[in-house]
Amino acid sequence: MSVDLNQLKIILSELKKYNAVLVAVSKKKSSEEIKQVYDAGHTIFGENYVQELKEKYEALPKDIQWHFIGHLQTNKVKIIAPFVSLIQSVDSLKLLKEINKEGEKNNRVINCLLQIHIAQEETKFGLSFEEAEIVLRSQELNQMKNISITGLMGMASMTEDKLKIKKEFKSLKLFYDTLKFEIRNSKFEILSMGMTSDYKIALEEGSNMVRIGSAIFGERI
Ligand SMILES: *Cc1c(COP(=O)(O)O)cnc(C)c1O
């Protein structure tokens, strides 16, 4: 078994110092492995694939908070809308419209983070700072009653260059602080940044939510 409960404990005690929340990223891991982490007392999990998330939701205890952190296609929103706790990877107004529509059908407000593109790699999804501002200021968003934008998510470049990672996280923190000041909505309170390789840097730069997979569940194959 590859689940490392000792590592989980170490990470949780580190996070405590920063008042940060752990999302245990369980993509490609079995329900049995997730159950081991759940039995250790952890209830927040992140998944990247809609169908996989749905199956795990059905198989596992209902007090788990499921975060969707992968690229989300509009035609699949309806599958997760009834139960998802937070969609961290919203990268367009079109997607927000769909989430709002499905939220309305399910009679719930769906919490969302805007995913911001801070890495230099082209492969990473997300909005630029300018695009995010346009979305946040749009009249359309204002009218979406079944959406709550509770913060931002970002991924740094995949690099050994710690200074570069640090700079990218710093830029997102600055943007987050500026928005928080402008928006003045107490629900805008999550800054999700940091994964296994870079969460320590992210915490130093002001992250209050980290998404950690392989350190807890072992390498993905
Ligand atoms: C897979 C994934 C993670 C976790 O990655 P690890 O390196 O295993 O910690 C975090 N965030 C996102 C968006 C992911 O897709």
CATH numbers and ranges of domains, the chain: 5-215 (3.20.20.10)
- The predicted pLDDT at position 184 comes to 83
pTM over 0.85: yes
> Residue 185 C-alpha to ligand 1 middle, in angstroms?
28
Burial class of residue 94, CB neighbours in 10 A (0-12, 13-18, 19+): exposed
Q: What percent of the chain has pLDDT over 90?
A: 94
Distances (CA, A) of 35 to 53, 191, 196, 204: 14, 27, 20, 30
Task: Report the alpha-carbon angle 218-41-213, nearest 5.
Answer: 25
- Which backbone phi and psi does 127 adopt, to 5 degrees? -90, 150
pLDDT, greater one: 220 or 198: 198
**What distance in angstroms lies between residue 141's CA and the mean position of ligand 1's atoms?**
28
Structure token pair of residue 171: 């830029």
pLDDT bin (cut points 50, 70, 90) of residue 71 is very high
Atom of ligand 1 nearest to the CA of 199: 9
Torsion over CA: 173, 114, 130, 184 (sign): negative
60/131 Cα distance (integer angstroms)? 37
pLDDT in tens, 95-122: 999 999 999 999 999 999 999 999 987 6
pLDDT in tens, 17-46: 999 999 999 999 999 999 999 999 999 999
